[in-house]
Amino acid sequence: MSQLSIRTFVLVGMMLLASATPLAQLSKADSEIELDVDMPHMILTPGESMNLTLTIHNNGSSIETYDVEIDSVVSPPPAAWTVTPTSNTVSNVLPTYNSTLTIVVQLGETATPSDNGMFTVIVSESDGTASSTIDVYVSVAIVYNPHLDATGVGDQGLLAIDPGQSVDLSIPVSNFGSVTDSYLLSVGQEPDLTGWWANYSSGGSSNTTTTPPAWSASVSDVLTFGNSYTSANGLSSMLEELLRSADSPSNTSDFTNGGWTIADHWDDVNTSGSAQNLSLASGVWDTVIVQDQSQIPGFLRTDPDWLASKNGSVHLADRIDSEGAAMMLMMTWGRRNGDAQNPILYSNFTVMQDRLEQGYIDYRDNISQETSAEIYIAPVGLAFKHIHDSIAASGGNPLSPTSTFYGLYSADGSHPSTSGSYLAACVLFAALTGDSPVGLTDNTTMDATLRLTLQQAAAEVVLNGSSEYTYPWESSGTIQPMSQHSSFPAGWEVRWLDDQIENLSANGQETATLRITIPSDASPGATGIRLYAGSLFGNVTTSTLMIVDVQPDYDLQVDFLNAGDAFLPGEQTNSSVRLTNTGTTDASYEYTLTVLSGPCTAALLTYASSLVVDASDDLAFSADIGSAANVGDVCSLRLTSTLASDVSVSFVRDFSFEVDRDINFTLQGPNGAVVMDP
């Protein structure tokens, strides 16, 4: 990788140059129209949109109406950018007064820093000749974002493999960042990026290490069961980034399906062989976050959907507890304007939020009454309410399109925007750790003031909120980490054939090969394998989890060790065969015995048995030898052993014995006295 140091130097040099050269806000102004914007230089991440506020000052002497347009001829926006005024007209601006207009700026998902540039806003009097322009610079944020996708392996990341099998898996490695990057891959633990650079460079470095916080061990792996409310904007990844920003080497993952309820997740967890079932059984997760469908928690307690979610939450909590993890319900938020589908039940945000809150409390209380599970609530919806109520208390309108509360939602008024998901991540962080998210840094691009507002709201709700809620960090004990596979089971080989991806362009993808080899005597069951990709330039690491489900290997050894038993014509003899479980899992078998040939009949005395691995048992049978049988005749028998749980698995063993000679004699002594001379 001889080009790495050169590229790093060039990139750092460009960043230093950009920071040392401020961008001027250029304005070509008519004296009667003065323009300014709240962000003369906008920096967005690919796929992000942001609102720009344009202020028009009327310095003239009459009431004016202005036409607003984005220059499409002289200095149009770069191709990756879409710039749209919310209105093309600003009406009736009084002399010496001003008016504002929102301009929506959106950056394409595949944008790179080569798409940096500027656009010009033109404001003209509708009935006059006065016109002014203002230039706005736009830049693509430098984002480092490696991504691994193991969902193509097996069944959505669940790989069934047989003992003794070796497979090479193709894992897509993508650059979701905005600049070319190089990655270091690892399995089971984060790649040593610092060590790689130390070995790569002949120069020394003064890398510092940080000590993980005290709560890190109990929040090292967090799984989320949810739907589109949690998949939107990558909530799980946001939470992981916040945890890592606090110096905890935590990992997160999720199972999300649009519209799914808690009952749906329980049904899937309760399905043998499902990805969610095996993920829980893999021994990875410390905390499992569970989110219900957005309307059901506030339904009437007699509603079938509410009852199904309540029962599902109880069953899920019990299963999660049996795997050694804690369960945290994620209370969702009321819809911005209430729920048009349920206008009586949910007439507005406040009413809906209050009903949702009580619903999650009732779920928790039922779980506590019916199980011994460790159960908590992350009150995300209360953070939405905190922001809503704070705006209303200050005399503002929470439903104004420019308000922070309004901006928590996407266009449908239900799903979260980026800021809504970020608020949820901050609440989850505080609920899991007991630490304040205020001051944490991350790659989520948003206004610094907005970021702080969301962090503070989350901290206030969790750390200074109602005593109705308890959290793991204030309990007598802490969440106990599940037993993780710090190393893989003995004899396993799990490794990347090439652990480096070099110079992967933004939005590019390459395939890395992961080799998994399982020894022939491997025990059946699910094992979680965490795959990592670390950015060598951005010093950030991402991970994904796949599950390897070792299939049971059934094998049964049958030995006839009693061929020396007396099998006599006209008689019945009891004998046995020795059965040994030489497979990799305990098994139960059912048996049948048939006569293939010979002057005999046979019947089993036992028709079924269960054998643990490596255990032996004697299977008794009786043989009746025909009275007309001759010495040396051979009776051939066949024993068929069928797996009780799967009739397609069976073992057939033939054995035989010979008919023996029946020798009878009597010892006859002399009649009368016998005289013997000395």
Give Cα separations from 474 to 434, 459, 462, 464, 478 (angstroms). 8, 15, 12, 13, 8
Is the residue at 145 inside a domain?
Answer: no
Is the residue at 592 inside a domain?
Answer: yes
pLDDT at 445 over 80: no
Q: Which structural domain range is residue 635 located in?
A: 556-658
509-531, pLDDT tens digit by residue? 999 999 998 888 888 888 889 99
Statement to judge: residues 308 and 423 lie in one domain: yes
Q: Tell me the two tokens of residue 503.
A: 């110079």
Statement to judge: residues 443 and 512 lie in one domain: no
Q: Tell me the two tokens of residue 594.
A: 């048939």
Give Cα separations from 427 to 234, 331, 653 (angstroms). 15, 10, 64
Counting the structural domains of the chain, the total is: 4
pLDDT at 124 over 90: yes
625-638, pLDDT tens digit by residue? 999 999 899 999 99
Give the model's pLDDT for residue 20. 36
pLDDT at 6 over 80: no
Residue the block writes with tokens 């140091």: 5
Is the residue at 668 inside a domain?
Answer: no
pLDDT at 477 over 50: no
Residue type (1 letter), 270: N
41-61, pLDDT tens digit by residue? 988 888 889 999 999 999 999
DSSP summary character for residue 617: E
DSSP summary character for residue 23: P
Among 243-247, 255-259, 571-575, the least confident range:
243-247
Statement to judge: residues 114 and 184 lie in one domain: no
pLDDT at 341 over 80: yes
Statement to judge: residues 56 and 31 lie in one domain: yes
Is the residue at 671 inside a domain?
Answer: no
Angle, helix 349-370 to helix 380-393, in steps of 10 degrees: 150
Statement to judge: residues 339 and 383 lie in one domain: yes
Statement to judge: residues 287 and 349 lie in one domain: yes
Which residues, at least 6 apart from 668, have a Cβ–Cβ distance to it below 8 Å?
none
159-215, pLDDT tens digit by residue? 999 998 889 999 999 998 888 889 999 998 888 887 777 666 544 333 444 567 777
Per-residue pLDDT band at 479 (split at 50, 70, 90):
very low
Angle, helix 235-245 to helix 418-433, in steps of 10 degrees: 50
Statement to judge: residues 285 and 433 lie in one domain: yes
282-327, pLDDT tens digit by residue? 767 889 999 999 999 999 999 999 999 999 999 999 999 988 889 9
Statement to judge: residues 66 and 86 lie in one domain: yes
CATH number at residue 493: 2.60.40.10
Statement to judge: residues 491 and 585 lie in one domain: no
The average confidence (pLDDT) of the chain is 86
Task: Give strand ranges (E) for 563-668.
Answer: 572-581, 587-597, 600-604, 608-611, 616-625, 634-643, 650-658
What percentage of residues in the chain have a pLDDT greater than 90?
53
pLDDT at 135 over 80: yes
Is the residue at 324 inside a domain?
Answer: yes
Give the model's pLDDT for residue 77. 87
pTM comes to 0.57
Distance, CA of 591 to CA of 593 (rounded, Å): 7
Mean pLDDT of 386-390: 93
Statement to judge: residues 126 and 263 lie in one domain: no
CATH number at residue 563: 2.60.40.2310
Distance, CA of 276 to CA of 288 (rounded, Å): 11
Q: Tell me the two tokens of residue 552.
A: 């049971």
Per-residue pLDDT band at 3 (split at 50, 70, 90):
very low
98-110, pLDDT tens digit by residue? 999 999 999 998 8
538-562, pLDDT tens digit by residue? 888 989 988 999 999 899 999 998 8
- Of 439, 474, 509, the domain-final residue: 474
Residue type (1 letter), 216: S
Statement to judge: residues 60 and 134 lie in one domain: yes
Distance, CA of 635 to CA of 625 (rounded, Å): 9
Give the model's pLDDT for residue 45. 86
The enclosing H or E element of 542 equals: strand 541-550
Is the residue at 90 inside a domain?
Answer: yes
Is the residue at 228 inside a domain?
Answer: yes
Give the model's pLDDT for residue 490. 77
CATH number at residue 451: 3.40.50.1110
Terminal alpha carbon distance of the chain: 111
pLDDT at 255 over 80: yes
Torsion of CA 241, 246, 248, 254, to 10 degrees: -30
464-475, pLDDT tens digit by residue? 887 788 888 875
Statement to judge: residues 184 and 220 lie in one domain: no
Mean pLDDT of 412-433: 94
609-657, pLDDT tens digit by residue? 999 999 999 999 999 999 999 989 999 999 999 999 999 999 999 999 9
Distance, CA of 326 to CA of 218 (rounded, Å): 10
Is the residue at 673 inside a domain?
Answer: no
Instruction: Residue 148: name the closest of 113, 99, 184 by CA.
Output: 184
